Amino acid sequence: MSKGQLTRMRTLDDYVGITEDEISLPIAKEQIDEEDHNAKEKFMRWDEGILHEDTYWRMPTKYISPYRLDGIYSTLSKIFEVNSQWEEDLTSGLPTYYGILGLKKGASIHEIEKTYEIKKEHSIYPDDVIDAAYDVMTSHELQMRYNEALSLFENVNRGLTPGEKREITAEHDNWLEGERDHMRFGYILNKHCGWVDLHELGAPTFYEILGIDASADQQQIDLGYKNQLQKNPDAKELLDEIYKILAVPQLRWEYDFIQKFSEKHYIDIFKHKIQLRKKRWSDWRNYKKILLVHLKDADYIRKNMDRWYDTTERNYDWHEYLPPDKITFYDMLGVDKNKIDEMHLDKKGFESMLRDKYRNMERTPKVNLAYSVLKNINLRQDYDWMLENHEILRTLVDITSPPKEGELDINEEKKLAEFAKQELIEIYDMQTSSKIKRGTEQVDEPETPKTKCQHDFKEIISRSKYVVYKCTLCGEINKVFK
């Protein structure tokens, strides 16, 4: 978002003598109804296009002695010998491959391809399971054999005890519920990634900004908006955007879903980080621009945060020469950047002017650094970009950076370290288990990890896509992707 895209900030003078009743809402009732209808229609069309049930998975209630099922066991075992992954997936409680892809029998290749791509992006199911489901759905021969296996599997389940049936049914239903949540979250993430980013940054909720409860009705939302607008007229554009979300029922449901999904499905260490980040947001009024950009141009944040990290990692010594309250490389060489921009100097003209300035200066390390950056057009462009974007991006870096010394009490430090340790153990278990169970080639089971060091992992680097932890005891480094 460019500065030109932000409208004129209102001042208190705009609302002198105006009562709440005289403040108009940013969206009319008729428009709210229309927006709600359109948002619901889009969501329902998407949601109904993905089957959230497992039509062909059935757990029989009638019990039959396993001894009477020997023939069925034998036939099913022969199928599983050739397709061992089918056995692992079905007996673990995973939905059928129809349920995995959200399809019914007879689905077209177009439907299969479409749902496969969606599932690969957002599904809770392991990639190899999705791939196996795709292979079955796109092969008539495999599909016929798989259908036979499903029928036989249903029959052999008659030999399970009631407790075993309840256990596998509960596991199956948990998979379906988790998948339904993840798919809907994926839909919301694609549409409103800025909302998700704000939540993960620990930003105040839209309800908190309007000064209302999350259970507020429409009248309370109206009053909250008007009240905050009277107090903070310079935040009108931000308050308008928030009102347009909370006043439209379907959009409000999508926003609320983010909070509920986070609480239910985020790993403990990430939920704890969000709580720690919340402490870094003092007053939302100090972060109006960050909040507004996330609502109006979230792609700007995502794209530029990655560039900021890359640029600062390559040029770590530039931090000292970025605002606020710091002298820039231009200042160091006595160059007025605003005038230079107005002069529209070409490359040669700028370099000639820069040499004239540099020639008469004492060659200190700082002066040499400033000159080496500004004379190189690629470095200068990176530096100019950082000057232009530092206000928003530097603040976001500060919010997401690892806890500083003294920021956490001893209990919070222990909790964070324990979460990090547990997360690494779980990731290791998942990776090694996947190699053993899913590998197409013979893979030896890995040795048990050495446990001499009682790891105390602490976050040392946080990026948009990964976090790096270092053990304070042995120095071991672990990189965990978000």
Q: What is the pLDDT of residues 223-239, one digit of tens each?
A: 999 999 999 999 999 99
Both tokens of 175, joined, read: 């998979």
DSSP 50: S
DSSP 467: E
Sign of CA dihedral 316, 320, 323, 329: negative
Q: In what order do the strands lie in the sheet with 477-481?
A: 457-462, 466-471, 477-481
User: What is the pLDDT, as a whole number, of residue 435?
Assistant: 35
Do the bridges between strand 457-462 and strand 477-481 make them parallel or antiparallel, or are there none, so unpaired? unpaired
Do the bridges between strand 477-481 and strand 466-471 make them parallel or antiparallel, or are there none, so unpaired? antiparallel
Does the pLDDT of residue 64 top 60, yes or no?
yes
Confidence band, pLDDT 50/70/90 cuts, at residue 13: very low
DSSP 284: G
User: What is the pLDDT, as a whole number, of residue 246?
Assistant: 97
Average pLDDT of the chain, as a whole number: 83
Which residues are CB-neighbours of 170 under 8 A, at least 6 positions away?
Answer: 93
Does the pLDDT of residue 16 top 50, yes or no?
no
Burial of 76 (0-12, 13-18, 19+ CB in 10 A): buried
CB atoms within 10 A of CB 224: 22
Token pair 């791939």 in the structure block, residue: 131
Does the pLDDT of residue 7 top 50, yes or no?
no
Q: Are 291 and 284 in contact (CB under 8 A)?
A: yes
Token pair 């040795």 in the structure block, residue: 447
Tens digit of each residue's pLDDT (9 = 90 or more) over 184-234: 999 999 999 999 999 999 999 999 999 999 999 999 999 999 999 999 999
- 422 versus 254: the higher-pLDDT residue is 254
Does the pLDDT of residue 452 top 60, yes or no?
no
Instruction: Give the max Cα distance, the chain.
Output: 99
Tens digit of each residue's pLDDT (9 = 90 or more) over 378-405: 999 999 999 988 888 888 888 888 777 7
Confidence band, pLDDT 50/70/90 cuts, at residue 422: low
User: What is the pLDDT, as a whole number, of residue 279?
Assistant: 87
Does the pLDDT of residue 457 top 50, yes or no?
yes
Confidence band, pLDDT 50/70/90 cuts, at residue 411: confident
Sign of CA dihedral 91, 94, 98, 99: positive
User: What is the pLDDT, as a whole number, of residue 394?
Assistant: 85
Sign of CA dihedral 279, 200, 233, 35: negative
Does the pLDDT of residue 371 top 90, yes or no?
yes
Confidence band, pLDDT 50/70/90 cuts, at residue 267: confident
CATH topology assigned to domain 66-159: Helix Hairpins (1.10.287)
Mean pLDDT of the region 439-458: 48
Confidence band, pLDDT 50/70/90 cuts, at residue 469: low
Nearest of 214, 226, 296, 292 to residue 252 by alpha carbon:
214
Q: Are 269 and 412 in contact (CB under 8 A)?
A: no
Tens digit of each residue's pLDDT (9 = 90 or more) over 136-168: 999 999 999 999 999 999 999 999 999 999 999
Do the bridges between strand 466-471 and strand 457-462 make them parallel or antiparallel, or are there none, so unpaired? antiparallel
Which residues are CB-neighbours of 130 under 8 A, at least 6 positions away?
Answer: 100, 101, 116, 119, 120, 123
The residues of the chain that CATH labels 1.10.287 are 66-159
User: Cα separation of 97 and 101, whole Å?
Assistant: 6
User: What is the pLDDT, as a whole number, of residue 35?
Assistant: 96
Distances (CA, A) of 160 to 58, 67, 79, 123, 155: 13, 12, 20, 30, 10
- 54 versus 20: the higher-pLDDT residue is 54
Is the omega angle on the peptide bond into residue 324 within 30 degrees of 0, that is, cis? yes
Does the pLDDT of residue 456 top 50, yes or no?
yes
User: What is the pLDDT, as a whole number, of residue 340?
Assistant: 79
User: What is the pLDDT, as a whole number, of residue 364?
Assistant: 92
